[in-house]
Structure 1
């Protein structure tokens, strides 16, 4: 059974689909998860609460301890993360004693992946470097960063809360994010061959002229 998700960090979609599959008792080995690459996502306003489980049935089925772990693991770059998440969730429900088995391979892997994502979030927060540029005649605070995992959206949400009045852009090879002072917007990636380390910061505004969503 093919189960599509909106994008590679669609944790709300995963929670919803997992709840539906569990209600129908669909075993993990029959599920084929797929997610659209972040590069193909057009500019859109982010829902700050989209990772929350809104569905009452989902909150009743999915263990609370699993929720935060899944929110982190979805950001991992492992292409099999959704398979692992659903298999682990299935087992937690049908094997009640599993949560006490700290040697279980699946749960150990989830913990490792969650920790790797936490480290990558902290690393991105510490290493982001913004440059003041003029793009299409307007000033812009711009950062290029290439995270190990899909953490840019999480870090951008944190930054928007830290600096609400300031306008900025974070450009990555996966997707880009823009804070307009009121809303956090996600947009397609900037190709690696246009990153400032390649073209130089002085020439970067000209290199980005063909990116229509920048301003």
Structure 2
């Protein structure tokens, strides 16, 4: 068994370097154990271990590819892959599936042996990787939608702080959106694996945090709950659609989630009250009087 040690679960550059080395050496994907720091692995044994930080990188299709100088170097010469494959890898590697590295290593091995197979859109491995990538993109979208900041005071003034628990390893990929949206503010997003911080100039990653370190809801959160309660329309309630767009696994991070079940439970009664109520008299609106034009 060959072990590959990456810097973390989102170490794309390390994966590129190690995957190229493995493919050129003819190492089978099922004979590789990928260690990212989260899974652990046999940390006491380094036999057959590859340090992903010191091996060469896979070249994209538009990168220069030096020609081998001899037949002896031909087998280990750099090879190219479609840029779309690298894009797929960048997304799929953010998934939490433990065997994602083996899957993409296998795809890379098959691409080197037969580059034309990448045109097969029904290939099982490719479809599997594309499913992982879709789920990662969906998780990034939900991260953008469901992060809730709370203002806190620190030594430099006000900072927005949020707690979020994404299903996949997407916080680094999602953070630039908040840096653009709140470019002039300082903020931090805390999560169990990693925390992202923006000081108005630089976006940086820090260690993970515990939920109890996140600030409690403030007066702004109470105002938001009042607004959410007032715009809830029981006559338009569709529970299945709501839970599909706002899955329950996110509710622990959303202040308004505490209102959902009570509002749903009261919905039928509120609709019946509206049906039983007498129609209201429309408010009289004064006619608009346009100013007269003076005749000349």
TM-score range, shorter chain: 0.7 to 0.9
Distance in 2 (alpha carbons) for counterparts of 1:57 and 1:75: 18
Are residues 1:37 and 2:53 paired? no
Are residues 1:99 and 2:115 paired? no
1:81 is aligned to: 100
Pairing 1:36-185 to 2, within 5 Å after superposition: 36-37=37-38, 58-59=59-60, 60-135=79-154, 138-185=157-204
**C-alpha RMSD of matched pairs (Å):** 2.2
Aligned length: 183
Q: 5+ unaligned residues in a row in structure 1: which ranges?
A: 39-54, 203-215
- Cα deviation, 1:62-94, whole Å, max 9, x if unaligned, reads 321111100001110111111111111111221
| Rg (Cα) greater in structure | 2
Distance in 2 (alpha carbons) for counterparts of 1:80 and 1:106: 12
C-alpha deviation, 1:136, in angstroms: 5.7
Pair 1:75–1:177, CA change in 2 (3 A): same
TM-score, scaled relative to structure 1 = 0.76
Show structure 1 runs of 4+ deviating over 3 A: 135-138, 192-196
Contact residue 143 and residue 166 of structure 2 kept, 8 A: yes
2:29 is aligned to: 28
TM-score, scaled relative to structure 2 = 0.57
Q: 5+ unaligned residues in a row in structure 2: which ranges?
A: 40-55, 61-78, 219-296
- Cα deviation, 1:75-114, whole Å, max 9, x if unaligned, reads 1011111111111111122133422333322111101100
Contact residue 11 and residue 71 of structure 1 kept, 8 A: yes
Pair 1:28–1:191, CA change in 2 (3 A): same
Contact residue 19 and residue 62 of structure 1 kept, 8 A: no
Contact residue 151 and residue 159 of structure 2 kept, 8 A: yes
